[in-house]
Amino acid sequence: MRKWILLFITTTVIFSCEKGPGDGGTSVIKGKVFIKDYNSVGQLQAEYYAQEERVYLIYGDGDFYGQDTRTSFDGSYEFNYLRKGSYTVFAYSKCDTCTSGQEPTMITTEITDNHSTVILPDLVLIR
């Protein structure tokens, strides 16, 4: 009898835990990356949707990304199979005053329902 009670409690605890943001859900985050290309004197040379630009996704308030992808021919990206929770999407933009020469451009969003699609505004990067 004790084994059954212990099994019931263990099963209840495991399956009743609320899972946070991350893989394993039914929702999607998607958007596009837009580039503003400047020359060396700061004049805008071109604007276009980025092809093959790397985009990253942070789960919750984490410090490191959980997924990354590349943009398609039209600048679009998509992160699938996400659970409810908070997410940050980012890509790197040129930064003349940064030691690394680049800085993250970020958009934070929330998935509130299962089976939902969150469409973000364009992620605008400087080149």
pLDDT in tens, 39-97: 989 999 999 999 999 999 999 999 999 999 999 999 999 999 999 999 999 999 999 89
pTM of the model: 0.84
Task: State the pLDDT at residue 14.
Answer: 46
Q: What is the pLDDT of residue 17?
A: 61
Cβ pair 72, 51 in contact under 8 A: yes
Residue 47 lies in a domain: yes
Query: Confidence class of residue 1 from pLDDT cuts 50, 70 and 90?
Result: low
Q: What is the mean pLDDT of residues 18-31?
A: 91
pLDDT at residue number 16 = 47
Query: Is residue 13 in some structural domain?
Result: no
In a domain, 1, yes or no: no
How many folded domains does the chain comprise? 1
Assign residue 118 the CATH number of its domain. Answer: 2.60.40.10
Alpha-carbon span 64 to 56, nearest angstrom: 9
Which pLDDT does position 18 carry in this prediction?
A: 62
In a domain, 80, yes or no: yes
More confident residue, 59 or 22: 59
E-state strands within 39-112: 44-49, 54-59, 67-70, 76-82, 85-94, 102-111
Whether 77 and 55 have beta carbons less than 8 Å apart is answered as yes
pLDDT at 19: 81
Token digits of residue 114: 């299962």
Domain span at residue 31 reads 21-126
